[in-house]
Amino acid sequence: MRIKRKKGLMIAGGVVALLVIAATITVLLFDINSYKSKIETVASETTGLYVRIDGKMGLSFFPFGVSAKNIHVAGKEGVVLSLERLKLGAALMPLLRNQLKITGCELIKPAITIAKDAGGKYNFESTEKKSTKERQGTAFSLNELKLSKGSLIYLDKKTGEKTELKEINLVVKDLLIADTSGDIVKTISFTGNIDCRELVKKDLKINSIKGGIKAEKGIFSLKPLAMDIFGAKGEGDVVVDKTQTDTEYKINLNIPKLDFEKLQESFGVKKLISGKGDFAAFLTVKEKGDRNPLNGMDGTLSLQGSNLTTHTMDLDKTLSTFETSQKFNLVDVGAFFIAGPLGAAALKSYRYGDVLYQAQGARGTITQFVSYWKIKSGVADAGDCAFSTRHNRVALKGKLNLISERYDNVTVALLDNNGCAKLKQSISGPFGAPRIGVVSTVESLASPILNLFKQTKRFIQNSKCKVFYNGSVRQPR
């Protein structure tokens, strides 16, 4: 019995050895580079893009696979993807039966460029896509997909905005496309992890972005999500729902103890205020055709902090002497310190720092700061926006229309002990050319505004006043 078992093992071992030898000879004798042109043609016809392999192709045995160097994929508007090296893993036994089964794929140093033109068309979209009837409804699966040291540039040609991601590493497991004949986005599924060294958009920089990724039946999620932003550790999640005609994005982000100086740098602003604060965003955005995404934005944004330092003026001193001051601008303070997370949008084209810098060198303290906004269909409503110093309290009410970029009945007020407005000033009109009170010229915004208060003298008696603010910021003692 032992002799028979031993013979069986020897025969099995011999068969395996023969298969290995046959496969080795196949690898050594097979010239895959002779198929390069055919591979380029098939890839180009399948994607509707121009695929070119400029480097050599090769075969490996342990593990078995195919590799190619220096690959370029281009659309009519230019290169979409350049790839230093592509490695494909394949199952050996099916190959011996003239069948190709890809088990893994690795992209090394891919550089991806995605551009959207003014009409909403992407540079990777083909004008010669096959109709659904012409496509074969086959399934595609991959055990593992890797991307290492990648980069991505996204350019919106309509707005001129550019977003760049550097040093991207991605691992995807159990990739499955259930049906390649229809909308692949709705039939793809996978799990995995991603990390990115840096994201840059204008003055905004986000580092060490890491998260788990998952796709299932048209729903893509990035959670948990972690990042270094504004000098702090941010965390949250992002969910993209493409099951309906209109794509829906859900974004949750918390950044405790962010650095106000870093926040200002992201707006392209010099240091006006320093200290730590907590930021939170809970947003839902519905994308519909070419419509401005802000039209479909709902949710909340908030920023709050305490014991902050102002680096251009002593607010208490300036507020207490507003009658004679020629350097202080209440609108500046309201727009910058209270607009908070919406400051970059609300202060578009307005160099608010110029007036504040006239008092360069003075310092002050903001004991409590709150900027809470409710957003509905792209219009931000000041739910609780105020700050207090050691002796004063200032609040803001009104709306910011982020779609039309206009102030909607925004009012900044200096408050008394009862929350009534001792002094207030309204802001209306376009972000870039707002109207202040009864004055309609842009020049007046960049000049000492308190002269207006001298002229209007709109003080409200405490005993008969209408409460302007009753939010979370308390009146200092």
What string of DSSP letters covers 51-114?
Answer: EEE-S-EEEETTTTEEEEEEEEEEETTEEEEEEEEEEEEE-HHHHHTT---EEEEEEEEEEEEE
Q: Which residue has the tokens 């996204």?
A: 154
pLDDT > 70: what percent of the chain?
71
Please compute the mean of the pLDDT values over residues 431-459 and round it to a whole number: 44
pLDDT at 409: 87
How much is the average pLDDT of 36-46?
78
Residue 200 pLDDT more than 70?
yes
Residues 277-304: tens digit of each pLDDT: 999 999 999 987 767 778 889 999 999 9
User: 49-63, 160-174, 349-363 — which one is most confidently predicted on average?
Assistant: 160-174
| Most confident of the following: 133-147, 368-382, 409-423, 426-440 | 368-382
Is the pLDDT at 48 greater than 50? The verdict is: yes
Strands 364-376, 435-436: pairing is unpaired
Q: What is the model's pLDDT at position 249?
A: 94
In which residue are the tokens 């008696």 written?
461
Which tokens in the block code for residue 199? Answer: 């994201």
Task: State the average pLDDT over residues 308-331.
Answer: 67
Q: Which helix (H) or strand (E) is 28 found in, with range?
A: helix 2-29
Average pLDDT over residues 26-49: 70
User: Band of the pLDDT at 343, cuts 50, 70, 90?
Assistant: low
- The region of weakest confidence among 79-93, 285-299, 308-322 is 308-322
> Is pLDDT of 384 > 90?
yes
Q: Best-predicted range by mean pLDDT among 18-22, 89-93, 450-454?
A: 89-93
End-to-end alpha carbon distance in the chain: 99
pLDDT at 444: 30
* Residue 394 pLDDT > 50: yes
Range of lowest pLDDT (159-173, 177-191, 405-419): 177-191
Farthest CA pair distance, the chain: 114
Q: How far apart are CA 48 and CA 129, in angstroms?
A: 6
Contact (Cβ atoms closer than 8 angstroms) between residue 226 and residue 244: no
CB 238, CB 250: distance < 8 Å: yes
Asked if pLDDT for residue 345 goes beyond 50, the answer is yes
Rg (CA), the chain: 31
11 pLDDT more than 50: no
* Cβ neighbourhood burial of 43 (10 Å; 0-12, 13-18, 19+): middle
Average per-residue pLDDT in the chain?
A: 77
Residue 257 pLDDT: 95
Q: Give residue 313's pLDDT.
A: 74
pLDDT in tens, 423-434: 788 888 887 777
pLDDT band with cut points at 50, 70 and 90 for residue 449: very low
Q: Evaluate if residue 333 carries a pLDDT over 80.
A: no
The secondary structure of residue 444, as a DSSP letter, is: G
Two tokens at 305?
Answer: 């902090």
For position 76, what pLDDT does the model report? 79
CB contact at 8 A, 178 and 187: yes
Sequence spans of domains, the chain: 267-477
Residue 353 has pLDDT above 50, yes or no: no
pLDDT tier for residue 463 given thresholds of 50, 70 and 90: very low
